[in-house]
Amino acid sequence: MPRLIDSHAHLEMDHFRDDIEMVISRARERGIEKIISIGIDVESSIRSLELSKRFEGVYTTIGFHPHEADRFEESILDRLKELSGDPKIVAVGEIGLDFYKRYSEISNQVRVLNQMLDLSKELRLPVILHIRDAFEEAISVLKSKGRDRIVGVVHCFSGNYNMAKRFLDMGLYISIAGTITYKGSENLHEVVKEMPLDRLLVETDSPFLSPQPMRGKRNEPSFVIYTAEKIAELREMDLEELSHRIYQNTISLFNIS
């Protein structure tokens, strides 16, 4: 059975409140040995950390989502630092820029992203980046303040290969979600065929973005296998070999034992 890690799930959300035990059990039955539950603010980071202590193989992150940037204040940075000492914390994220819906002012998103990047450097943790309709702006921020290499991953990547290559050239990993199984995802097909395998991760972004054939249902970590199967098909690789390589990539990036 292929071994995989779901590198990005939101297990702390209310969507999983009533059956979290079964969700994790189903993931294990499908070979998903580890799950990274993502923090998007202080409260969700705390809830994810609590889940990671309840369930073996669940890890978590601390972060502040760009949608929330308008309500960021300095005390939040202190609270995230307080959480960071726990060994189940493996990254700073979900952080980034989102100009699609603009729930927060662009200037505030940029300011918070810079602070989160500084925090990741201080804590020596990789970053998990959310970038939507803000490609050039994100590249500019990532390269500012003397940053030439960034340790981290662009989650739920949705761009073309030229975009992916610019992130790869900065040292970042690329994570692919269930959207690669959708019609019209040819850009992503090119990305996974052309990019180096040692920079590839997979994720569900659950409870969102269920892959085919599960569209219309709540997404969950066990469904990450469908994404891996599609990538194996596109790269013309054995599924177990591909899964092993992705597993090792994820372990390496997040320093998970």
Residue 175 pairs with which residues in a beta bridge? 201
Residue 148 has pLDDT above 90, yes or no: no
pLDDT band at residue 70 using 50, 70 and 90 as cut-offs: very high
Share of the chain above pLDDT 90, in %: 97
pLDDT band at residue 34 using 50, 70 and 90 as cut-offs: very high
Amino acid at 65: H
The per-residue pLDDT for range 227-238, each reduced to its tens digit, is 999 999 999 999
Rounded CA separation 125/128 (Å): 10
Rounded CA separation 234/246 (Å): 15
Nearest to 126 by CA among 97, 92, 155, 96: 92
Nearest to 131 by CA among 157, 165, 160, 104: 157
Distances (CA, A) of 55 to 35, 141, 170, 206: 10, 36, 34, 17
Question: pTM value?
Answer: 0.97
- Please determine, looking at this structure, whether the domain spanning 4-254 carries the CATH number 3.20.20.140: yes
Q: What residue ranges do the domains of the chain occupy? A: 4-254
pLDDT band at residue 1 using 50, 70 and 90 as cut-offs: confident
Between 145 and 140, the more confident residue is 140
Residue-wise DSSP of 112-133: HHHHHHHHHHHHT--EEEEEES
Angle of helix 74-83 relative to helix 106-123, nearest 10 degrees, comes to 30
Nearest to 176 by CA among 189, 163, 166: 189
